[in-house]
Chain A
Amino acid sequence: MALTHEEVRAIAHLARLQLTDEEVERFAGQLSDVLDYAARLNEVDTSEISPTASVLPMNAPLRPDEVRPCPPRDQLLANAPDPAGGMFRVPRVLELEP
């Protein structure tokens, strides 16, 4: 299952990664190897087996709808690179943004 350079560039774009041409070349090979390795699972006949989402007991534990106090805001903003007025400041992301 060989990935094309185009596909590698598209995946990199979705992950917001900038790759050089050599990296595209290298990762195309590596990613294809990973996919080939995983594709070996296709050799197993699973037609009689229902899909498994988890090996844990399938009963999702549900939490009661109760409010607990939040940690102080300063603590949560402490690791933010650029807090301002109790908010997280972020760089511009869309060209159309005001």
Chain B
Amino acid sequence: MPEYEAVIGLETHIQLNTKSKIFCACSTDSWRAPPNTHICPICTGLPGVLPSLNRRVVEKALIMAAAMNVGEIAPESYLARKNYFYPDLPKGYQISQYDEPLAGNGSFEFPMPDGNLRRISIIKLHIEEDAGKTVYKNSKRLIDFNRCGVPLVEMVTGPDFRSAEEVGQFLIRLRQLLRWLEISDADMERGQLRCDANVSIRERGQQRLNTKTEIKNVNSIANVRDAVQSEIQRQVREVEAGRKIESWTLGWDDDRGALSKMRSKETEADYRYFREPDLLPIQTSSEDWAATVSQLPELPLARRSRFSADYGIPDYDAGVLTEERSLSEFFEAAVAAHGGDPKRVSNWVMNDVLRLIREQDTSAGELGLRPDELAEIIRLVERGTISNSVGKELLTQVQGSDRTPSQIVEEDGLAQVTDFGELSAAAAQILEANPDQVAAYRGGKSGLIGWFVGQMMQESGGQADPKSARKILEQLLEG
């Protein structure tokens, strides 16, 4: 059996998180809104209305283009009508872009789990409006136009992916980037990030492209990966059995977790594109483009390498800390405020701050714990003023409090007990209350020292300094 390789290209649709729709002032926020409550004569295509382009849609699409490494932007790009009849498309056409899209010729580089980088080419990137939604209820076809006119960026990649795993990683990193740039919420389950995949196979080493199938309607990254993987395997089975691959469109069936054939694409749909006469071309001056590029924040991948280079933290840490933009900013500010070993700060952020963020379902930016407060807590632990466990508890106490960590430690009496006399008295009490364990220890079970230290910590409510406690207990037990 010859060795096959997969050739996969993606067409992604990204819902931009503007407040209003692309051509009218209706709200885009219609998740769970009653049907048809965010519609107007423009987005329902009533006769005599005129579209008016939302400035933020263009700006956010340009940010996306800059992040996709697009070198030059089209100084002039055109909106076009894509004509087709479908009940969720009230005008009978979708306003999109065709022969002069906003941007093309970009690339996106992302890390694979093995640490290698993959670069995928971006063929084109354009803006368009979303369609409405058809709901089937009691054999009725009902249309909700709330989503109609919501702004989308359509981004088409080259046929550069060679495995389902690469597709999955691309989508994970694309989602991260969209949120990082604050241009989309990129929630696949809510349709804010959609992905169609074109899949074909060929014998390894060949250059030509074979007949492809198109996978549509997949609503999660895991399902895209599964769908692409099963389609690659199906094509290999077909070719091995001497059958031809036909250019099917396949839909993902969520209940069965499998692909099924949608409609045969015997004739390529004739969309009769033409320039949108109701809208003027979008002009992007070289100054505007230069400003967009220069205002682009440092991107996740660049920040990740800078973190490991500048702070000497492991690449794994740098990856976790740059998962999300506000977390990476939190870490960097905490390192600056702490002034000591960045790895120590990294440990606190990765273990304790991240745990809080997950438990409270929030983000580093909204946690109510400032980076300088974290730095202060770490310093209090490092100096031995408080124990490690008190430090961890302090994190939640500082949240939303107007007292500083040091004030809380002082006012609430959380400082670690290192006073020799106080600790000796407590240790003597514990020995007296547990004669059996004392006898066992003295009979050779020296491992019991841990249990004694535990008793001390419990008695002191975690405030005893464990190192001092251990020393004192050992002295008393040996003596």
Contact = CB atoms under 8 A, between A and B. Distances in A.
B44 A96 contact: no
Interface stretch (B18-26, B338-346, B437-445): B18-26
A91 B19 contact: no
A50 B458 CA distance: 84
Contacts of A64: 55-56
A58 B55 contact: no
A65 B56 contact: yes
Given A65-B19, A67-B20, A76 B40 contact: yes
Interface residues of A, number: 37
Nearest to A10: B270
Interface stretch (A24-32, A33-41, A82-90): A82-90
Interface in A52-98: 53-54, 56-68, 70-71, 73, 76-77, 84-94, 96-98
B52 A87 contact: no
A68 B137 CA distance: 31
A58 B26 contact: no
Given A88-B145, A90-B87, A91-B141, A66 B19 contact: yes
Contact of B142 (A57, A61, A85, A96): A85
B25 A68 contact: yes
A87 B141 CA distance: 9
Nearest to A59: B283
A14 B142 contact: no
B142 A88 contact: yes
B16 to A, nearest CB: 10
B263 interface: yes
B286 interface: no
B34 interface: yes
Contacts of A84: 140, 142
A76 B44 contact: yes
Contacts of A90: 87, 134, 141-143
Contacts of A16: 85
Nearest to B85: A16
B389 to A, nearest CB: 48
A64 B56 CA distance: 7
Given A14-B270, A73-B37, A87-B35, A61 B141 contact: no
A65 B142 contact: no
Given A53-B275, A67-B25, A76-B36, A62 B54 contact: yes
A67 B35 contact: no
Contacts of A71: 40-41
B272 interface: yes
Interface of B: 18-20, 25-27, 34-41, 44, 52-58, 76, 78, 83, 85-87, 134-137, 139-145, 262-263, 270, 272, 275, 277, 279-283
Given A62-B54, A64-B56, A66-B25, 6 more contacts: A62-B53, A67-B25, A68-B26, A84-B142, A85-B137, A93-B87
